[in-house]
Amino acid sequence: MTKDDRYLAAKKKVQNLKDFYVHLLVYILVNIGLIILNIVTYKGHIWFFWPLLGWGIGLVSHAFSIFGQNKLFGKNWEERKIAKYMSEDDK
């Protein structure tokens, strides 16, 4: 991998991280607004948790794609699984 390739890969990772933080900020601000709107217009029904939950699922999957994917299914994981299956075949 050349220096330019490494730079472009690092730049893409930084952009993905920035996009996640913007997503998180918008999620927080919009949901604070929805909570306030629900409290101000309360008519016996609390509904703000539905968009909070639905959007939260999307946010968690976005976070997993940025932070968790390499830790859970990264190269080390693949190598450990290959070694495990190879040792099982030897038995």
Side chain identity, residue 61: S
Higher-confidence residue: 30 or 70?
30
User: Measuring CA to CA, how many Å separate 7 from each of 3, 13, 14, 18?
Assistant: 6, 10, 10, 16
pLDDT of 43 strictly over 80:
yes
SS3 content of the chain, % helix, strand, coil (to 5): 85, 0, 15
- Give me the number of domains the chain comprises: 1
pLDDT at 79: 79
| Over residues 6-12, mean pLDDT | 92
Per-chain mean pLDDT for the chain: 89
pTM for the full model? 0.73
CB 56 within 8 A of CB 28: no
Q: Which domain holds residue 59?
A: 3-90
